[in-house]
Structure 1
């Protein structure tokens, strides 16, 4: 089976949080003395490997703008004009072996599949995870849906975003090329609605706020990401948070992503001094706030055992449906490990 992904995968096994840079934007500017020239021919001469058919299809799919406006393939350029071309980032194709792995499917139709991913499941095969992933399970699910599908005729399936191995929650996959284009562009335009629930260390001063800091790979430790407030490295990232419940030493928050950078919530919360509870990448897997007493230390260790991963859940996911053009919104309940650790902190706070 061929699985098509709309962006390049990271190689490290820890996975990524929600890297939504699925489209690249190329900008071309014509010269002052540009003679009238069809845009499809103009782009053919400038984009390596492009065919006229592909360019015309991109124009038809509104992926080409001239001075910010949609045009037709026979549009003639003249004078100084700016041309913006959106294109996927050389999609990676991998042979995927279907595997009989249970999936929690929240919704499915002819265009999209919404999966409520369990914590601990890697989304896509990669270094250290050649199989046993969510995509392997999806391949098997497709075969069971349609008995006429064989290894040779399995359809192309589109991943338009990902969530980290140890993050639970909603993930959308595109079942058609049209759906993949539509969803990938919505992620690129930051119009997809996503709410996450996280348990973080510490008692936040404000009930709500916005974190603005570029997110990029750590300059020394390449598996980690870092916040760069001056914006001299990484990509712009914006996270809005709201306090849902306070437990003294930890806080339950809702995070809304305005952008979707790799490990964004985890990096941003660490940046403001509130790493995610039990996040072993970003310092949340040790006691960050609290007392030095042995009894408290044992309590925290018990909490870590209840939720043996970063306490982060992708709770809601909303987008414009590729086929109906209607806004759809999906919601998923908190998984058992997060419910258990939240209740444990709730009881601890009530006794304090």
Structure 2
């Protein structure tokens, strides 16, 4: 089954005004036999979900199949997309400490900086209750501070997130004091965050700024959208600078003032430049280029080299919560992004030669 990462943003139930959170999102396997939805979910959730609880959730519309409400006797079919909502926030899920290799690049008594690999889920939830970065961080901290828990250090010091399929730098706190200080720096927009992104299309200008509130898409609730300034969504600002042009795609640096869910991805899509191979926001197909089959094969090869959205959290700067010194970290592009960029460099050279 294909299971997606929990999204921390709530979905509002329009009838009751309650906020629901995605607890489970999955696509039914091709070989799945017909089975009642309530029995299927009991098998998936285990002890956390009784049959009565699940049936009650179905009655309230908190279980959807293919974006539609269903009844308890609905029988699942191969290919069905199931979403199970909960009134429990992602932060309320118990984080179980797990020993694992962590990509830590800096650590002292107050902070941890990790260089996350693409594909690694940051926080437990929505089917990913183990194996996440925070599970590993919890184990790591407990070796140093046996009494640490989510009451003494909420979410084990996580002060911001990056998407599952985005690589790069992530900052965590090791004490409650450091957590509060760093959270305030993010709130005040003083943290330096620069991302490198490969996006579709060319730009007329060398740099620009994207504004517009970012909020949950009003029809497709699993993705985000950009809205005019107003009551819906939250204010979001992304500055970008062109780093290198490859005719049909462009390497840009994005600098965040705010940190909304999917901000760079949805902002770039909004101005007609979706991230390369971003399946959620339309970048996993040819957006710019020729109609020749040779070009299509080239793009498919690039998708194989970088099988995720081409986005990397490259730079992170902040004030140390205790020493008050400026801290600055940079992360090299991972092999998949570096490889696909080099592929485009070679492609542009061949076009120039043919001219």
- TM-score, normalised to structure 2's length? 0.71
Instruction: Provide the residue aligned with 2:146 in structure 1.
Output: 149
Structure 1 residues 131 and 293 mapped into 2: Cα distance closer, same or farther (>3 Å)? same
Q: Which residue of 2 aligns with 1:349?
A: 348
Aligned to 1:270: 269
**TM-aligned CA deviation for residue 137 of structure 1:** 1.4
Stretch deviating more after TM superposition (189-198 or 223-232): 223-232
Query: Aligned-pair distance for 1:8?
Result: 7.1
* Aligned partner of residue 128 in structure 1, secondary structure: coil
Give the alignment of 1:122-201 within 5 angstroms. 122-144=121-143, 146=144, 149=146, 156=153, 157-201=156-200
| 1:101 to partner: Cα distance | 2.5
Matches of 1:213 and 1:323 in 2, distance apart? Answer: 35
Contact kept, 8 Å, 1:213 with 1:231, in 2: the verdict is no
**Per the alignment, in what secondary structure is the counterpart of residue 125 of structure 1?**
coil
Tell me if 1:287 matches 2:298. no
Assess if the C-alpha contact under 8 Å between 2:277 and 2:284 holds in 1. yes
* Offset from partner CA, 1:219-275 (integer Å, 9 cap, x none): 011111001134352111110000000000000000000111111100110011000
CA distance in 2, matches of 1:132, 1:164: 15
- 1:303 is aligned to 302
SS at match of 2:157: strand
Show the counterpart of 1:11.
22
Alignment of 1:26-175 (within 5 A): 92-144=91-143, 146=144, 149=146, 156=153, 157-175=156-174
Are the aligned partners of 1:143 and 1:154 in contact in 2 as well (CA < 8 Å)? no
Contact kept, 8 Å, 1:12 with 1:223, in 2: the verdict is no
Q: How many residues align?
A: 269
Match of 2:70 in 1: none
Residue deviations 1:144-172 (CA, integer Å, cap 9, x gap): 5x3x7379899632111100000001111
Aligned residue number for residue 85 of structure 2:
none
Q: Could you give the per-residue CA deviations for residues 199-218 of structure 1, whole angstroms, max 9, x where no partner exists?
A: 00001111101111111110
2:210 aligned residue: 211
Residue 240 of structure 1 pairs with residue 239 of structure 2: yes
Tell me how far apart the structure 1 counterparts of residues 194 and 340 of structure 2 sit (CA, whole Å): 20
* Distance in 2 between residues matched to 1:262 and 1:243, nearest whole Å: 23
Please provide the CA RMSD for this pair.
2.3
Instruction: Work out whether residues 90 and 125 of structure 2, in 8 Å CA contact, stay in contact via their aligned partners in 1.
Output: no
Contact 1:211 1:240 in 2 (8 A): yes
Indicate if the aligned counterparts of 2:141 and 2:174 stay in contact, CA closer than 8 A. Answer: no
Q: Deviations over 1:284-331 (max 9, x none)?
A: 000000011111111101100110100000001111111011111111
Q: Could you list the runs of 5+ residues in structure 1 that have no partner in the other structure?
A: 1-6, 15-89
Distance 2:252 2:140 in 1: 34
Identify if the C-alpha distance between structure 1 residues 284 and 8 changes in structure 2 by more than 3 Å, giving closer, same or farther: closer
Question: 1:141, 1:303 → 2: CA distance?
Answer: 37
TM-score (ref. length: structure 1) = 0.72
Report the structure, 1 or 2, having the larger helix content: 2
CA distance in 2 between partners of 1:208 and 1:323 (Å): 36
Any gaps of 5 or more consecutive residues in structure 2?
Answer: 1-7, 11-20, 26-88
Please state whether the residue corresponding to 1:160 is helix, strand or coil.
Answer: coil
> Relative to structure 1, is the Cα distance of residues 351 and 227 closer, same or farther in structure 2, using a 3 angstrom cutoff?
same
